[in-house]
Amino acid sequence: MNHDEKNIMVILSSPSGAGKTTITKKIQQKYQSFKISVSHTTRKPRPNEVDGVDYYFVSQEKFKKLIKEDKFYEYAKIFDNYYGTSKKSVDSTIKNNDIIFDIDWQGTKQLSKFKNLKLIKIYIVPPNKEELKKRLIKRNQDSPTEVERRFKAYDQDIKHWKDYDYVIINENLENCYKQIEKIILKNKNTEIISSQKVL
């Protein structure tokens, strides 16, 4: 994977329901240079989700075919469904844009193996477990069984915070967003300055 030195790759991970998707969308709306990496998944679309925008929704069969053909930079099985980042979509995006990945800790580990990438890894934590449950229920996008499952995955997920460059507690969405914005701007500026020095 090669990319222009001035473009950065930001990974945002969190336990399900910590507010990551809202933050990701907010960054993209404010900074035109940022594009969200659209993953492939075998999960069924939620009522408000659009194919090709939120995910590329594919069958298990198709996903397994793509794995065999080595089409993914990373993929993982999460809550019984496959999720993956396709090489094609990243390679075309990173040429002219910064990129945000909304992926889990397993995908983060796999992307970290590409040593030539300028990755900024951010882990978002909900203020506490009860708050997370409230958010999962309030979101009202998953069945009660699915909510329970995602809630139970919290303990396993949170163990991986150490693999990240930054850990942010999402006590308040606006503050959390501002902290992430600061991290991004800091890294983006460093990149620009360092490439100017080379010139």
CB of 134 to ligand 5GP, least distance (A): 16
CB of 112 to ligand 5GP, least distance (A): 12
Cα gap 79→82, rounded to integer Å: 8
Cα gap 94→106, rounded to integer Å: 21
| 51: β partners | 55
Query: Of all residues in this chain, which one has the CB nearest to ligand 5GP in the complex?
Result: 107
Residue 61 or 199: which CB sits closer to ligand 5GP?
Answer: 61
Among 26, 43, 133, 160, binds ligand 5GP (CB under 6 A): 43
Residue 8 or 147: which CB sits closer to ligand 5GP?
Answer: 147
Residue 25 or 186: which CB sits closer to ligand 5GP?
Answer: 25
**Cα dihedral across residues 85, 9, 181, 131: positive or negative:** positive
16 belongs to the binding site for ligand 5GP (CB under 6 A)? yes
Residue 43 or 160: which CB sits closer to ligand 5GP?
Answer: 43
Structure tokens at 126: 């909900």
Going along 42-161, which residue ranges are E strands?
55-57, 72-78, 81-86, 98-102, 119-125
Residue 6 or 87: which CB sits closer to ligand 5GP?
Answer: 87
CB of 130 to ligand 5GP, least distance (A): 20
* Phi, psi (degrees; rounded to nearest 5) at 153: -70, -15
Cα gap 99→8, rounded to integer Å: 6
Among 24, 39, 170, 187, binds ligand 5GP (CB under 6 A): 39
Q: What angle do CA 170, 181, 36 make, to 5 degrees?
A: 90
Residue 80 or 193: which CB sits closer to ligand 5GP?
Answer: 80
3-state helix, strand, coil in the chain (%, to 5): 45, 20, 30
- Tokens 């850990």 sit on residue: 167
Among 6, 56, 71, 106, binds ligand 5GP (CB under 6 A): 106
Give the x/- contact pattern for ligand 5GP in 76-105, rule: CB under 6 A. x-x----xxx----------------xxx-
Binding-site ranges for ligand 5GP (CB under 6 A): 16, 39, 43, 74, 76, 78, 83-85, 102-104, 106-107
